[in-house]
Amino acid sequence: MIYIFSLIIAYLLGSIPFGIVITKLFNKGDLRKVGSGNIGATNVMRVGGLRLAGLVWILDMLKAVVAVLIGRYVGGAVFGVWCGFMAIIGHCFPIWLKFHGGKGVSCLFGVLLAVNPLLFIICGIEWLLVALGTGYSSVGALVAFCLMPVLGFFISFNIGIAFLAIAILCLWRHRENILRLVSGKESKIEWKWKK
């Protein structure tokens, strides 16, 4: 019963829509009605600048970190990753927003940070280099999704499987970005500190 309860708590943590909360607090409007309509940090950057996007990114990461730590305390390292997976599901499909949420990138990095800070650093550097090099946040994320399971399998088979599930979910959430990249219609990152 405690395991089911932990998974539910992880989902509810992930469901907290920090992008909407922060943009409303700073009078940037309803995030769902501006930019791409997504509630994640990339869309926050479009409407509120890098400072607000960074704040949302950190908060979205922290909810996944907390979920992993709860799971680890209850059932060990592997169960901790599955709780992180539930937090990502909550972020992507929040009950408070009729299951229309973000795409899971920031929460994915939160899981990496909680599981192994070195993996977080590796994927973070990869994302930054690819995003800066191409101008597309989504390309950096897509490479991270593919890299994450490979790194997970170096830790253990079970963590690799959990990382693979996370990567598949995040890839599926980015299917529209992939189509826009193929057609040349994907929006580039606007690196502005403040708007």
pLDDT, tens digit, for every residue of 114-143?
999 999 999 999 999 998 888 888 898 999
Contact 103, 92 (CB under 8 A): yes
| Residues 168, 17: Cα–Cα separation, whole Å | 22
Of 145, 176, 167, 173, the closest CA to residue 85 belongs to: 167
Q: Which residue has the tokens 């501006």?
A: 34
- The pTM of the whole model exceeds 0.75: yes
pLDDT, tens digit, for every residue of 49-101?
888 889 999 999 999 999 999 999 999 999 999 999 999 999 999 998 888 88
| Residues 17, 30: Cα–Cα separation, whole Å | 12
